[in-house]
């Protein structure tokens, strides 16, 4: 049932939501998972200061959260996505974990870094 505005015409916001729902329904789950993972990786890279802007947006607390979320997503979806998709995501995750260790003034003990409860200890 679509909503209407006070003038009796269809509500544009409702129409947009219906279109978005139809669009997302056509996207395979693997594609959604990979897209979310790539977005988490990109955000983590920014928070680690690994982009062209350098340290402008660097925030290791935020980076830790993003890397941990990425590790959890990859761990939970490991059996759902093929190794074709999973392997480069795992490589990217490891690179972010190592970058976090290098950026930290006091590095975490092996196994205590962001996401390492899902991946195990990460060494260089």
Reported as a single tens digit per residue, the pLDDT across 85-112 is: 999 999 999 999 999 999 999 989 999 9
* pLDDT for residue 37: 98
Chain mean pLDDT for the chain:
90
Nearest Cα to 16, choosing from 32, 3, 33, 7? 3
Nearest alpha carbon to residue 1 among 23, 11, 24: 11
Nearest to 73 by CA among 43, 118, 122: 118
Q: How many residues does the chain have?
A: 124
**% of the chain surpassing 70 pLDDT:** 90
pLDDT of residue 24: 85
pTM here? 0.82
Give CA torsion, residues 73, 77, 82, 83, to 10 deg. Answer: 50
Show Cβ contacts of residue 119 under 8 Å, excluding neighbours closer than 6 positions.
Answer: 71, 75, 90, 93, 94, 97
- Residue 9: the pLDDT is 57
Inform me whether the pLDDT recorded for 28 exceeds 60: yes
Can you tell me the mean pLDDT for 33-37? 97
CA neighbor of 97 nearest in space, from 84, 115, 72: 115
List the structure tokens of 1: 């049932």
Q: Determine the pLDDT at residue 7.
A: 57
* Cβ atoms of 90 and 74 closer than 8 Å: yes
Burial 22-37 (b: 16+ CB within 10 A, else e): eeeeeeeeeeebbeeb
């Amino acid at each position: 049932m679509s909503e209407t505005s006070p003038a009796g015409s269809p509500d544009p916001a409702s129409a947009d939501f219906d279109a978005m729902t139809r669009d997302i329904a056509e996207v395979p789950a693997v594609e959604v998972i990979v897209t979310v993972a790539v977005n988490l990786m990109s955000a983590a890279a920014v928070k680690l200061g690994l982009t062209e802007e350098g340290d402008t947006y660097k925030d290791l607390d935020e980076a830790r959260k993003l890397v941990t979320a990425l590790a959890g997503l990859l761990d939970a979806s490991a059996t759902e996505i093929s190794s074709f998709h999973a392997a480069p995501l795992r490589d990217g995750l490891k690179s972010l974990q190592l970058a976090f260790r290098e950026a930290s003034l006091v590095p975490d003990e092996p196994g205590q870094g962001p996401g390492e409860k899902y991946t195990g200890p990460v060494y260089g």
